[in-house]
A and B are shown apart, each in its own frame.
Chain A
Amino acid sequence: MQNRKILQGLLILFLLSPFFILIGHFELVTKWDTGEFFWALRNSIWQGVWSALLSTLAGLWLAMGLIFCENRFSRWFNFNIFFLLPNFLPNLFVLIGLMSLIDPFPMGTIGVIIVHAFINVGLCGVILKEVIKNKLSRLSDVSFTLGVGHMQFYRGILFPLLKKDLFQVFFLVFVSAFSSFAIPLVVGGGKGINLEILIFEKIKIYNDWGSSVALAGIQSILLFGFSLLNFKNQTVVELNPNLQSRFLESRFSFYFFSFLYVIFFYSYFNGVAEGLNSWSDFELYSEEIANGILGTAVISIGVGITVFGFLMAITRLHQTNWFHRFLNGYTAPSTALIGFAFLVFGPNTTFFVFLKIILGLTLSYIVYLYKMGYGNFLLDLARYKERASLLGADNNLVFWKILFPLTYKRMFLYSGIAAFWATGDYGISKMIASRDISMALLSETFLSHYRIGFSSLLSFILLVLGLIIFLCFRGAQVVVGRKINY
């Protein structure tokens, strides 16, 4: 018991480490401006709430489109990836794609909300599709058989049963929009200045690390406070593998979103095709590209494995107490602060640079993944742990024989997602690395040398690489699954 508490403490210490490092490194004398803080806070909340609301509602509709698609076409292609892609593209390509879609594009707060919503709607749709399949598939079939009307089903069954999951998804987008940096900076205008930009201004304009760390801390505490509004859903999960209900699928949603995404990707793939014209650059920069691919693979697989290790540790140490509350509510500081904290801490030789990037990315992803559903999933498993303990199983046995077989699929899925995200990381890598060690950094360097086409091509290679690494994690999951079943 004592060991568990110590390990839980160590894990939390790691998650809070950027704050401690920066507090230790800089003299934290702050010049506090309450008016400015509340103004930025208001903008953050405004952007967060509207982005999250739009993403969640559109995501719910997309989820129905995805269910339709799964019922009809899943044998040929997994469309989830298609809708998740905007999440992995560099901001510039997302903006250019959206500006082709919406012309003239509304700059300002509305623009920020649209970009956030577009980036997150796929993720919301995929998460909600899984939730709907798990919670409503049997009920929808029964309702259909009993002659329940559409609106009655939505009002009486769907929303009451899904409201906590919707809130969870809302909170997930809210957190990312609340602490977004690059998008409000480009399209936000004056009213786009949120807490994250204020933190950046404190560092850049006033060299005031004290205020920036204090603001980041307050931002984390506020998001923690918001998370306390959230609570777990106890709905029994009964999956119907042959879900066919008309209530839960929407043909129009699928075609509508597909149309939007096709137009969006048209401009992106146009850029990729332009990049093919500079094919000769491949030969010229083959060594850099090969090193970039290797570096990206090391970072990405490293992050995937470290996240897997952390998820195993969290699964083993998990308790429905302050530990869960902390993981569910805590939000990692911005990539700039994490990157800078890790840069000033310890040596910066090649090995440590990679190690710091991997740990920095793990730190920023792990709590996000926990909120993405892993935490609630662990809560559902508490009853098995309890029963096993009552029957006299020790912690080791409970973990390896009960928890691991039940959680390994999700652990591999989330590690794969983290690995996929890590392939496209630019923020933390740029801060810590002393050269272009990954494809994302290389892509940015090409962009700063007028080569936008080639940069698009590199970002496409990055997507493919991310997908391959993601599939490797899925492959490892299959092998582990066979071992467990054997």
Chain B
Amino acid sequence: MQHFIIFIFSIFFVLVISFFNRQTVVDDSQKIIRVYGYSSFTSKLGPGYELKKKFEQICNCRVDFVEAADSGVLLQRIKLEGATLGADLVIGLDQYDLQKALSEINWRKLDFSQLEIDEIIRPALSNSYFVPFDWGVIAFVGRKEDPLPTPKSLKDLLKPIYKNKIALMDPRTSSPGMQFLSWVYDALGKEDGEKYLEQMMNQAHSFSPSWSTAYGFFSKRQVSYVLSYLTSPLYHQLVENNNSIEAFRFSEKHPVQFEFAGIPLDCKECALAEEFINLMLSDEGQKIIMNKNFMFPVVKTALQGTAFESVAQFNHLSQFKIPSVSDVDFLIKSWTSIRRGEKNAK
């Protein structure tokens, strides 16, 4: 009996060892650049895979992607592994992560001020450590055939006809959720914003932990509207040939979300990391990012002649700013106390 059990265990371990051997056939002479990011970027579905292939053709190096669950884990991972294994490039931080990232990790200075970008997004280049590689406009998305009247403002969403029809995200776990929170405060001010959010607690269908869960509710017709991106309908048009999804223009200026890349100070392949950023910001790289992420490219020329061009004419945008740690803190604490049903944010 003991022998049989040992035999089963041995078979499993032989399988495991062969699995790992298969995975680790690498050319030792090549340099390795370690890129940290989220799976939506690094997976084959995202732009990371194609960028990696292109880069490996020209750099005589290997690109290793390291994924993390969220920005908190990402920064912890870099702190843990950065010094030993090396963290050469970090991709996918948004404007709400930047100050936290700056306070926890030392970054190399970058200068991309000469990039040819739209003036409206130039403020995103104002910092010295991070460079934006794509951007999106936050908007509510719905179906054209929906019998309900189209909402035209944030306040419209509080009308009784929209009760339980809107899927939102929890700003503590979701970047678009955070954008919504900031949108409400920017558009309505602190006092009215808090009142609005208190009412929204009973109005929204759900506050999902992630964009994908909320969008899942929308796709499965559990809700009529979901907080998403201005470019979301393009996915349905281009991939599914479905023209029934639309994004709504609100009277309040829409928030803009940027995704940034940065190079930690203790990078091991710093020059390669910078070259990788150059590829991401090239016309070719920007098109890959645009077509895979369904976000706008930061470089103007990449948009020309694409389906994104007309959508990008949308200019009803809020002024971009990088929030401080205390701003982010205020937003999250305020949300937490309103969500708990307390009247005033502490």
Residues of A within 8 A of B (CB): 39, 91-92, 95-96, 99, 104, 107, 182, 185-187, 189-191, 193, 200-201, 203-205, 207, 267, 271, 284-285, 287-288, 294, 298, 301-302, 305, 309, 340, 343-344, 348, 350-351, 354, 400, 404, 430-431, 433-436, 441-442, 444-452, 476, 479-480, 483-484
- Choose one: A444, A448, A480; the contact of B4 (CB below 8 Å): A480
Q: How many residues of B contact A (CB 8 A)?
A: 65
Query: Could you give 12 example pairs across A and B, Cβ below 8 Å?
Result: A185-B173, A186-B206, A207-B72, A267-B220, A351-B20, A400-B1, A435-B42, A436-B43, A448-B39, A450-B215, A452-B219, A480-B1
Assembled-state Cα–Cα distance A79/B210 (Å): 34
Residue B205 at the chain A interface, CB threshold 8 Å = yes
Q: Within the assembled complex, what's the spacing in Å between the Cα atoms of A80 and B173? A: 36
B318 to chain A, nearest CB (A): 24
Given known A-B contacts A185-B170, A204-B172, A400-B1, A305 and B12 have beta carbons under 8 A apart: yes
Cβ 8 A contact of B339, one of A99, A189, A288, A354:
A189
Closest residue of B by beta carbon distance from A192:
B339
- Output the nearest chain B residue to A484 by Cβ-Cβ distance: B1
Tell me if A288 and B336 are in contact (CB < 8 A).
no
Chain B stretch 182-222: residues in CB contact (< 8 A) with chain A: 201, 205-213, 215-217, 219-220, 222
Instruction: Give the residues in chain A near B154, CB-CB below 8 Å.
Output: none
Known: A39-B340, A301-B12, A447-B216. 19 other contacts (CB 8 A): A92-B216, A95-B217, A96-B217, A107-B206, A190-B338, A201-B336, A204-B72, A207-B72, A267-B220, A350-B20, A350-B23, A431-B69, A435-B67, A442-B43, A445-B40, A445-B45, A448-B212, A450-B236, A476-B8
Contacts of B20 in A (CB 8 A): 350-351, 354
Contact residues of A: prevailing secondary structure: helix
A451–B216 Cα distance when bound, in Å, is: 9
**Segment 1-46 of B: residues with Cβ below 8 Å from A:** 1-2, 4-5, 8-9, 12, 15-16, 19-20, 23-24, 39-40, 42-46
A207 CA to B66 CA, complexed, in Å: 23
Task: Tell whether B144 is near chain A: CB-to-CB under 8 Å.
Answer: no
Chain B residues, Cβ within 8 Å of A189: 201, 339
Q: How many A-B residue pairs have CB under 8 A?
A: 150
Q: A451 to B239, alpha carbons, bound, how many Å?
A: 10
* B164 in contact with A104 (CB, 8 Å): yes
Set of chain B residues within 8 Å of A343, measured between Cβ atoms: 73, 76-77, 80
Q: How far is the CB of B260 from chain A (nearest CB, A)?
A: 19
CA of A200 to CA of B12 in the docked complex: distance in angstroms? 36
- Max chain A C-beta neighbours (<10 A), residue from B19, B205, B220, B336: B220
Could you say which of A309, A430, A483 contacts B1, with CB atoms under 8 Å apart?
A483
Nearest neighbor of B1 in chain A, beta-carbon distance: A483
Contact of A452 among B44, B46, B216 (CB under 8 A): B216
Q: Taking CB as reference atom, which chain B residue is nearest A91? A: B213
Main secondary structure of the interface of B (DSSP, over half): helix
For residue B16, which residue of chain A has the nearest CB? A298
Contacting residues of chain B (153-199) with chain A, CB-CB under 8 angstroms: 164, 170, 172-173
A431/B73 contact (C-beta < 8 A), A351-B20, A450-B215 known: yes
Q: Which 9 A-B pairs have the closest CB atoms?
A: A190-B341, A448-B212, A447-B212, A434-B66, A449-B45, A190-B340, A452-B219, A430-B69, A445-B39
Q: Which residue of the partner chain, among B19, B45, B209, B333, contacts A298 with CB atoms under 8 Å? A: B19
The complex places the Cα of A187 from the Cα of B39 at a distance, in Å, of 26
Q: When chains A and B are docked, how far (Å) is the Cα of A201 from the Cα of B333? A: 10
Contacts of B339 in A (CB 8 A): 189-190, 193
- Is B258 interfacial (CB 8 A cutoff)? no
Q: A186-B206, A441-B39, A479-B4 are in contact. Are A340 and B73 (CB under 8 A)?
A: yes
Q: In the complex where A96-B222, A205-B333 touch, is A448 in contact with B211 (Cβ < 8 A)?
A: yes
In the complex, the answer to whether A400 meets B2 with C-beta atoms within 8 Å is yes
**A344 CA / B80 CA spacing, docked (Å):** 7
* Nearest CB of A to B258, in Å: 18
| B332 contacts chain A at the CB level, 8 A cutoff | yes
B residues less than 8 Å from A204 (CB atoms): 72, 172-173, 332
Say whether B12 contacts A302, CB under 8 Å: yes
Chain B positions 306-343 with a Cβ under 8 Å from a chain A Cβ: 329, 332-333, 336, 338-341
